[in-house]
Amino acid sequence: MTPKITQIETLLVDIPTIRPHKLSMTSMAVQTMVIVRLKDDQGCEGLGEGTTIGGLAYGPESPESIKMNIDRYLAPLLIGQSTDSVRYLMQRLNVAVKGNMIAKSALQTALLDLKGKHLGVPVSTLLGGAIHSHIPCLWVLASGNTEKDIAEAKELIAAGRHCDFKLKIGSRPVEEDVAHVAAIKAALGDSASASVRVDVNQAWDEATAVKGMAALQEAGVDLVEQPTPAKDIDTLARLSNKFEIPILADEGVADAKDVYQFAKHGFNGGIALKIAKAGGPIPALEAAVVSESAGFGLYGGTLLEGSIGTAVAIHAWSTLPTLRWGSEMFGPLLLQDDIIKQPLRYHNNGVDVPNLPGLGIELDELKLAEYQRKD
């Protein structure tokens, strides 16, 4: 008999970060995750996670809105439904509720975890099958202090945990940002295979981007992520064809339709895939297919999810033939603690793909209770 969904519970979980994480639009010292626990009539549970960066400073969904919209609008559409087809259930949500992609991603994750557990296969198998067992993973140097960032990067290189680094810039004058990045690039220049990229998080206009990218190119920086506003595709296309340094489109690209528009406008760069902005791993992989068809290099992005959201993204990226720019699935490492019993395994400049049924992770109920928001 096909299992049916009987209960969907959402929890707000607040875990402090190991240090302040600075972006162009905000700084965060605590990450709030919306944890989804989806249960069926056979006693099985699927886990999901909806997480964003810096609340409404980053995008239209906050942790509180994600929880409320799942509880009030999305969950009732799933209760009592068969778990047979994840695609059918997501179509049911998409027809009835517009937007709310992070909330939908959390539910799709829980449905896939549940399905994988019932079938005894990893989520990667449900998504077509893993090609890789280990995903490259960079680290973000976001203290804002040049010497601290250099010391942190050198320590991580020596430990073999990361060799690629991204810097968040855009909150300071462009000259200061470029000097900061150039100093770090120069300091790591002798480190074997060390890559330095920047993420501007839409902070520059076109004139500033021309100035900044010219200087970053001169400094030997490898990649510039979303230097200008998300919706200004033409500007990003012009910049991508003006400089040798590649541009990565992030906030401007959510799904396959967005990727098509970037190709249509003559963009020449890379695409940051994120399960949260696409509405789940399935549509994120659809965006990957269009990206590859257009010749765009792929990058596995994050909204700084904890271990649940990170695990499902790792499963998805493991099915892709090539991640030209690697991934940034370091979210759990940015947190002071974890709510799963066995943390994801980071080593050899990357992270292992879980191979147990479903997501391959198990909640630590004591930790969950410790960090769950009580009000």
24: confidence class by pLDDT, cuts 50, 70, 90: low
Tokens of 336: 């002071």
* pLDDT tens, position by position, 239-291: 999 999 999 999 999 999 999 999 999 999 999 999 999 999 999 999 999 99
Q: pLDDT tens digits, residue range 310-326?
A: 999 999 999 999 999 99
Q: Dump pLDDT digits (tens) for 84-106.
A: 999 999 999 999 999 999 999 99
Q: How many CB atoms lie within 10 A of CB 214?
A: 14
**Residues noted as catalytic:** 168, 328
pLDDT one-digit tens code per residue, 40-56: 999 999 999 999 987 78
- Inter-residue contact 151 to 83 (CB < 8 Å): no
Question: Cα–Cα distances in Å, from 189 out to 68, 267, 361, 367?
Answer: 48, 30, 38, 41
| Structure-token match 């400094």, residue found | 219
Domain edges within the chain: 5-121+363-371, 126-352
pLDDT of residue 22: 66
> Per-residue confidence at 23, pLDDT binned at 50, 70, 90?
low
Structure pTM?
0.95
Kindly state the average pLDDT of the residues 156-171. 94
Distances, alpha carbon 56 to alpha carbons 11, 48, 142, in Å: 19, 21, 20
According to the model, what pLDDT value does residue 190 have?
Answer: 62
pLDDT > 70? residue 29: yes
> Is the model's pLDDT at 180 over the cut of 90?
yes
Q: Which CATH topology does 126-352 take?
A: TIM Barrel (3.20.20)
Which ranges of the chain would DSSP assign to H, the alpha helix?
63-69, 75-78, 86-96, 101-119, 123-126, 146-159, 174-187, 206-219, 233-242, 256-264, 275-278, 281-294, 307-317, 365-371
Residue 189: band (very low, low, confident or very high) from pLDDT cuts 50, 70, 90: confident
Tell me the helix, strand and coil percentages in the chain, rounded to 5: 40, 20, 35
Q: Does domain 5-121+363-371 bear CATH number 3.40.50.300?
A: no
What pLDDT is recorded for position 191? 58
